[in-house]
């Protein structure tokens, strides 16, 4: 996976570490964001196997 640049305009930013969520990973955002469009961007490279 190659690094890409993205440009977004928005109303808030939260930087979190994704945690184990069973068969997926998850991040928690404020409850007031429920039902709103949110973008998650991977900012660290994945380790190649």
Q: Which two tokens stand for residue 2?
A: 């190659």
Q: pLDDT, tens digit, for every residue of 15-37?
A: 999 999 999 999 999 999 999 99
Instruction: Please check whether residue 29 is in contact with residue 18, taking contact to mean a CB–CB distance below 8 angstroms.
Output: no
Report the candidate in 45, 40, 39 with the shortest Cα–Cα distance to residue 3. 45
Note the pTM of the prediction, 2 decimals. Answer: 0.75
What pLDDT shows up at residue 44? 92
């Amino acid at each position: 996976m190659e690094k890409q640049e993205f440009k977004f305009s928005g109303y808030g930013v939260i930087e979190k570490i994704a945690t184990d969520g069973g068969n997926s990973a998850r991040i928690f955002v404020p409850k007031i964001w429920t039902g709103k469009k949110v973008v998650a961007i991977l900012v660290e490279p994945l380790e190649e196997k």
